[in-house]
Amino acid sequence: MSELTTVARPYAKAAFDFALENSAIEQWHGMLIFAAAVANDATMSTFLSSAETLDKKIEVFLNVCGEQLDDKGQNFVRLMAENGRLKALSAVVALFAEFRADYEKEIVVEVTAATELTKKQQDDLAKTLEQRFSRKVKLNCTVDAEIVSGLYIKAGDTVIDGTVRGKLERLAHALQS
């Protein structure tokens, strides 16, 4: 995946910069997501790997995308196709989303709890995390009964393990040392 990320980075950066200049970040994000879904489709992937000419591949790909891509989006996809980079569209979408989140001062936080969090608990947690990270926080909450109690929070590279299970594991490790 890191090779695709390296290939996708300049495309994602160019797309994001263009979208930012034209106040069309939401629109471009949507177009890229759709184009990546088309490129990842099994039938389309097989077609793109076939011996068809490049012009035919681009024509079919753009016809499938239809009106989901504006003229600039079609030019972007055409450029990626001409450079043999359509397989990197998913990585472009992921990087574009990172650029967007960074621009919008937003961070996605994965929260795992033993039980379902109430709306108030989620709001309080989001408010606390917004102060800690100095960014707008979007919570993705999941439930895992194996953590016993507490929260496991992952935001980018930061991990906060406030679970009873985690505390017990750290205690066992300390006692064994």
List, for residues 124-147, the tens digit of each pLDDT value: 999 999 998 888 888 999 998 888
The DSSP call for residue 52 is: -
22 half-sphere exposure, CB direction, 13 A CA radius: 14
Phi first, then psi: give them for residue 138, nearest 5 degrees. -110, 120
- Which domains are present in the chain? 2-101 (1.10.520.20), 106-176 (3.40.30)
The share of the chain scoring above pLDDT 90, in percent, equals 34
Strands, E assignment, 17-121: 106-113
The values of phi and psi at residue 155, to 5°, are -130, 100
Query: Burial, 32: exposed, middle or buried (Cβ in 10 Å; 0-12, 13-18, 19+)?
Result: buried
pTM of the model: 0.66
